[in-house]
Chain A
Amino acid sequence: MNKPVERLYNGIVKENPVFVMMLGMCPTLAVTSSAINGAGMGLTTTVVLTLSNMMIAALRKLIPNRVRIPAFIVVVATFVTLVQMLLQAYIPSLNKSLGIYIPLIVVNCIILGRAEAYASKNKVIPSMFDGLGMGLGFTIALTLIGLFREILGNGTAFNVTVMPKVYEPITIFVLAPGAFFVLAFLVAIQNKIRNRKAVNVKLVTSCDAGCAGCASAGICGGHEKQIDGEAVLKEQKQE
């Protein structure tokens, strides 16, 4: 797989920021009371994420390591301000319904996380696709959550009535607790699908904890051994 496609797949499916990495929970739970709000928040974040990733990747050799976090924040804040002004000018309704959560994109952990983990170490083009993939993954997740909440709690989808007239909207779903219910169910469902996949894949790891967080990975050279996922699962069941 070539790099851009791999980055997009990584952001949307493999490391989906909401369903897999559980990042950006604040906007995820707060603004998804309708599908349009979810999509609007997701797309706004995508724009900021893509642009900031590109900018940070371009500046990565100029930013001193010690002050990188403030430097990232300045870059992100610049783009957030730009996007917010554009929203105020052209889509005031969305700007109004998202409210404080647009300025809060500055401290969105997905954006800082991608800057720190990817953009500051990679070239401009892959970083752009990384931001785009993560942003789209975030958008899809938020739209899905918003869609379920809107259908159950209001009987509409994208402001169009979809449920029959006899359907009594379960108001709790457009309120804060509903966000937790829907998120939990979506994560549970996709974990179920993912785990089934994981069983069939031969996992590659070195020791139990894996090389990623291991301090002595350099010394042991990452002795990788093949583990048969199915056999491991069987063993666990027997225990």
Chain B
Amino acid sequence: MSNLLHVSNSPHVRDKRTTSSIMADVFLALLPASIYGIYNFGAKAAVILIVSTLSAILFEWLYQVLMGQKVTVTDCSAAVTGLLLGMNLSHTVPWWMAVLGSAFAIIIVKQLFGGLGQNFMNPALGARCFLMISFAGQMTSFTYDGVTGATPLSFVKNGALSEVSVKDMFFGGIAGTIGETSALWLLVGALYLVIRKVITLRIPVTYIVTVVLMVTLFGGQGFDIKYIAAHVFGGGLILGAFFMATDYVSSPITVKGQYVYAVCLGVLTAIFRLFGGTAEGVSYSIIICNLLVPLIEKITMPTPFGMGGKQHE
């Protein structure tokens, strides 16, 4: 009998796409910017990226083996987390900091809350903020071409806008974390993800537009192209908006919710950058908005067909 009946529960829509294929796509999309980062910052950047990626995979495997769980390292999600974390570090940090960050991302932020799909914030960003608070000195010292340099955003923060070149920021010839400097290669990766329909443009575009609006309104420079370009290309906004704010697990699933979420992100990022103590604010605003996601989903829950309107007695 069991051979005759092929009835399963809904959903009945099937797709060939799997977690592993999506994660592999994201990993591929991150590669152009990573490779550019290695070209830009040299072998030390390569060491950080490789160490953070491998240690993330290792910690995931170790945790699942020790806890007697099904080992799911082959779904690439740990690799993506590790690579993202590496891209969020300055190439001058010692390698053990990348290992510590990966351990925090995988074990504390991801696995302790139930593994992939259950983590309430982006693991890579959680780890970046953990390292940022713990080792503020090393995490914010950036060098470019062997010279300790300020990021475009800190130039802007200190009112030295003339030091900033829009061309350099777009192509990546600036100081910053390994993965955030080249807007061009990040956008190439993002384009691949959009074409493969892994991400939609809803969150990233709304996020960036909100930041631009906020900066224009409250930045005190009016609509100055150079000033706005520094905010869009000069920091982690492109990396954050396309690759981390769109993380499936920690962003809302409702369409309306995604707009609300992206606007919150933009407002917070602009507030942190313009009025906060530090020059950068993308990572904190993403993890704070990750925490808001359950509430956002609750208020933007779509009404099923036939359930709307006033109930008639």
B108 touches A172 (CB 8 A): no
Question: B108, A175: Cβ atoms under 8 Å?
Answer: no
B108 to A, closest residue via Cβ: A181
> Which B124-182 residues sit within 8 Å CB-CB of chain A?
130, 133-136
Most A-side CB within 10 Å, residue of B100, B133, B135, B136? B133
Selected from A171, A173, A177, A181, the residue in CB contact (under 8 A) with B136 is A171
A177 to B108, CA, bound (A): 13
Q: Which of B134, B135, B136 has the most CB of A within 10 A?
A: B134
Q: Which residue of A is nearest B94, CB measured?
A: A168
A170: interface (CB < 8 Å):
yes
Q: How large is the interface on B (under 10, 10 to 19, 20 to 34, 35 or more residues)?
A: under 10
What is the chain B residue whose CB lies nearest that of A173? B134
The number of A-B residue pairs with CB atoms under 8 Å apart is 16
Contact between B108 and A171, CB atoms less than 8 A apart: no
Residues of B within 8 A of A168 (CB): 94, 135
With the chains together, A173 CA to B104 CA distance in Å? 13
A172 to B136, CA, bound (A): 10
- Bound form: Cα–Cα A168–B136 in Å: 12
State which residues 95-135 of B face A: CB under 8 Å: 100, 108, 130, 133-135
B121 to chain A, nearest CB (A): 13
- Residue of A168, A171, A177, A181 with most chain B CB atoms under a 10 A cut-off: A168
- Find out whether the CB atom of B133 lies under 8 angstroms from the CB atom of A175: yes
Q: Least Cβ distance of A40 to chain B in Å?
A: 26
A173 to B108, CA, bound (A): 14
Taking CB atoms, residues of chain B closer than 8 Å to A172 are 130, 133-134
Residues of B within 8 A of A181 (CB): 108
Evaluate contact between B133 and A177: CB separation under 8 angstroms: yes
A181 to B130, CA, bound (A): 12
In Å, the complex CA distance between A8 and B113 comes to 36
**In the complex, per-residue mask of A175-194: 1 if CB is within 8 Å of any chain B CB, else 0:** 10100010000000000000
A151-187 contacts to B (CB < 8 Å) = 168, 170-173, 175, 177, 181
Name the A residues within 8 Å of B100 (CB-CB).
170
Those of A25-65 within 8 Å (CB) of chain B: none
Q: How many Å from the CB of B192 to the closest CB on chain A?
A: 36
Residues of B within 8 A of A177 (CB): 133
How many angstroms from the CA of A224 to the CA of B116 in the assembled complex?
A: 44
CB proximity to B under 8 Å, residues A125-170? 168, 170
Chain A: minimal CB distance from B95 (Å):
12
**A88 to B131 Cα, complex, angstroms:** 38
Residue of A nearest to B130 (CB): A172
Residues of chain A within 8 A of B133, CB atoms compared:
171-172, 175, 177
For B130, list chain A residues within 8 Å (CB): 172
Interchain CB contact under 8 A, A170 and B134: yes
Q: Return B99 CB to nearest CB of chain A, in Å.
A: 12
Interface string of B251-290 (1 = CB under 8 A from A): 0000000000000000000000000000000000000000
Shortest distance between the CB of B104 and any CB in chain A (Å): 9
4 closest A-B pairs by CB: A172-B134, A170-B134, A172-B133, A171-B134
* Apart from A170-B100, A171-B135, A177-B133: 13 A-B pairs, beta carbons within 8 A: A168-B94, A168-B135, A170-B134, A170-B135, A171-B133, A171-B134, A171-B136, A172-B130, A172-B133, A172-B134, A173-B134, A175-B133, A181-B108
CB pairs A–B below 8 angstroms (16 shown) = A168-B94, A168-B135, A170-B100, A170-B134, A170-B135, A171-B133, A171-B134, A171-B135, A171-B136, A172-B130, A172-B133, A172-B134, A173-B134, A175-B133, A177-B133, A181-B108
